[in-house]
Homo-oligomer: A and B are copies of this chain.
Amino acid sequence: MARIPAPERRDALVEAALRVVSRRGIAQATTRAIVAEAGMSLASFHYAFDSRDELIDELITTVVAREQHAVIPEPVPGGDLREILEAGLLRYFEHLRGDPEHEQAMLELTHYALRSPERHPLAVAQYARYAELAAHSLEIAASHAGTTWDRPMEQVARVLVAFTDGLTITWLVDRDDDAARAVAHAAADALSRMAEPR
């Protein structure tokens, strides 16, 4: 096997772990499965990481830091706030449809982190990151629509995160595209009513 410095091997293992979690779930993401996915031997795993827990923690941290599927990157030309928000939510939905396993993996990682006190902060950080991305999108949306949020943006962002999450889980279960679009429509409606014309 090619000789790879430990730091690079850590990265490769994290990527392999993400693929395994996405494809088979976190319960199946054993050291052996991850190592096989990365094409390494078992010893290389514990040369790069002290433990599986350490890898999972780094996986969550990495994937959260990388998260960028901003809900509203490009505004609808000439649209009002509600239309811009809905377009953003639909854009997220298309992202979800394109890679359902990734969002499923993110959700599983959240629940995994939620189960142990020392990992709970990772889940909190994950959703704080979501809220940050949501706030950024909302800022752009309001600016393009010429409106101002009628309460602290963090609160609006939290609502958007909740709506997005609800859309995700329900669609992952029933794969009902029309229903998901209805959720996006309703969510955009509710959010747009949290703003006032500037």
Contact = CB atoms under 8 A, between A and B. Distances in A.
A137 interface: no
Contact of A166 (B25, B163, B174): B163
A173 B110 contact: yes
Copies in the complex: 2
Nearest to A25: B115
A182 B159 CA distance: 7
A135 interface: no
Contact of A190 (B24, B155, B186): B186
Given A123-B173, A162-B179, 19 more contacts: A25-B115, A27-B27, A110-B169, A124-B174, A127-B173, A127-B174, A155-B178, A155-B179, A159-B182, A162-B169, A162-B170, A162-B183, A164-B166, A166-B166, A169-B169, A186-B190, A187-B190, A189-B189, A190-B190
